[in-house]
Amino acid sequence: MNDPTSDLLPEGLEDRLPQSAAAAARIERAAMAVLHAHGFDRVRPPLIEFEKSMAARMDGLMTRAMFRFVDPKSLRTLALRSDMTAQVSRIAATALSQAARPLRLCYSGQVVKIAGDQLEPRRENLQIGAELIGNDSAAAAGEMVELAIAALEAAGACNISVDFTLPDLVDTLAAEEFPLDESQRDAVRRELDAKDAGGLKEAGGEAYLPLLYATGEFEMAAAKLAALDTSGVLATRIVRLREIAARVGGRARLTLDPSERHDITYQTWFAFTLFAEGVRGALGRGGTYRIGGSGEVATGFSLYPEELVEAVKAAEDLGHKVFLPLGHDRHLAALARGEGWRTVEALDEADDAAALGCTHVLRDGGVQAL
């Protein structure tokens, strides 16, 4: 029982201690309040599901990335969720299939993946998200990008920037403007992703070279993208991107990296990634997609606020604690709580107010500094 190794947690998993747990709870509460205020109704899918069901609703969701185990009840394979978007899609396509569209749903919960990586060793994450089901227009995308920014701001993120991308860009260009056969497309996508000009030429994607330079500050990059689109096959997409940018440009710094994929494999014409000052890595991502099975269009985003928690936890305010001495007046203690104080009750003469983190004490009929 005293084996010290039994106290260690598996790699990539951790306990949140009070400062960190309070920051995570506040961030979750603040973000969910914004989604609620914008008309998104919360749903809560279970932590585990049939592996097949989890995979069916979203192309590209790797069940190999999930912990799986056999259910002794059904004798079928279950998976611990690594993403809640597919679960919300399932709810939209089944229990809420008759609800009016667009359907606005939001969610928050823990997700677990089987393996971390060097950039992101964490295996359990808090995922907070919103899905707008039944619409994937520029208006829908604008609403969702603005909502994601508002949720992150309410959670305490500052100087947010949003990177736009066009997930189906290569397919669109390859079909008309810069023909590629099927076998070349993957290589071209990969070299664009790696931003490797030499590799791109070797893969037969020389025509795609200008895409490597149509990146950066949104207006400038969008103009470059428009300039290289001589046949106009991207015209609709560029108009839509500008519509979204016009809506959210006042609230965040916008960039465009049209061929960036961000590990996103299931999105359709639009995707975006969110960053904030002082926070390592991306805080969230979203875009337009189709729900597997029903084929219904949707626009959504997920926030992963772990690094925001890391950035703010040291300064998280846990409130002031008032020590309640033995024999204190319980009515006065309740009044102090009503005013926002946290109370800590003495159980024993030996209880030490200062050691217990109290800055105040209830005495002489009121709250006083220790």
By CB under 8 A, residue 175 contacts its own copies? no
Please list every residue from 194 through 233 that binds its own copies, using CB under 8 A: none
* Residue 100 near its own copies by CB under 8 A: yes
Q: Of the ranges 74-82, 163-171, 207-215, 268-276, which one interacts with its own copies (CB under 8 A)?
A: 74-82
User: Which of residues 60, 62, 65, 76 is near its own copies by CB under 8 A?
Assistant: 76
Instruction: CB nearer to its own copies: give 97 or 231.
Output: 97
Tell me which residue has tokens 């520029």: 138
Q: Which stretch binds its own copies (CB under 8 A): 196-204, 252-260, 281-289, 342-350?
A: 342-350
* CB of 67 vs its own copies, minimal distance in Å: 5
Give the span between the Cα atoms of 214 and 216, in whole angstroms: 7
Q: What is the DSSP string of 279-320?
A: --S-SEEEEEEE-TTT--EEEEEEE-THHHHHHHGGG-----
280-309: contacts with its own copies (CB under 8 A): 292-293
Cα distance from N-terminal residue to C-terminal residue, the chain: 40
Stretch that binds its own copies, among 51-59, 207-215, 230-238, 269-277 (CB under 8 A): 51-59
* Burial of 168 per CB tally in 10 Å (0-12, 13-18, 19+): middle
Contact in structure between 4 and 298 (CB atoms under 8 Å): no
Region near its own copies per CB under 8 A, out of 1-9, 185-193, 198-206, 218-226: 1-9
**HSE (side-chain half, CA atoms, 13 Å) at 32:** 17
Asked whether position 30 contacts its own copies by CB under 8 A, the answer is: no
Annotated binding site for L-histidine: 83-85, 127, 131
Smaller CB distance to its own copies: residue 254 or 353? 353
Q: Is 131 in the site for its own copies (CB under 8 A)?
A: no
Choose which of 60, 69, 176, 239 interacts with its own copies (CB under 8 A). Answer: 69
CA-CA distance, 305 to 31, in Å (whole number)?
A: 10
C-alpha 219/C-alpha 234 separation (Å) is 15
64 lies in the site for its own copies, by CB under 8 A: no
Among 7, 181, 317, 364, binds its own copies (CB under 8 A): 7
Q: Exactly one of 27, 74, 161, 289 binds its own copies (CB under 8 A); which one?
A: 74
Phi, psi for residue 155 in degrees, rounded to 5: -80, -10
Site for its own copies in 142-171 (CB under 8 A): 143
User: What is d(CA 112, CA 277) in angstroms, rounded to the nearest whole number?
Assistant: 26
Of the pair 110, 159, the CB lying nearest its own copies is at: 110
The stretch among 95-103, 166-174, 198-206, 229-237 that binds its own copies (CB under 8 A) is 95-103
Cα–Cα distance, 278 to 208 (Å, whole number): 34
In the complex, the smallest distance separating the C-beta of residue 287 from its own copies, rounded to whole angstroms, is 16
The smaller minimum CB distance to its own copies, of residues 178 and 341, is found at: 341
Of residues 230-289, which lie at the interface with its own copies (CB under 8 A)? none
Answer positive or negative: Cα dihedral of 164, 141, 238, 61.
Answer: positive
What token pair was written down for 7? 């106290």
Which of these, 272, 237, 276, 250, lies nearest to 145 by C-alpha position? 272
Interface map 10-29 toward its own copies (x if CB under 8 A) = xxxxxxxxx-xxx-xx---x
Rg (CA), the chain: 25
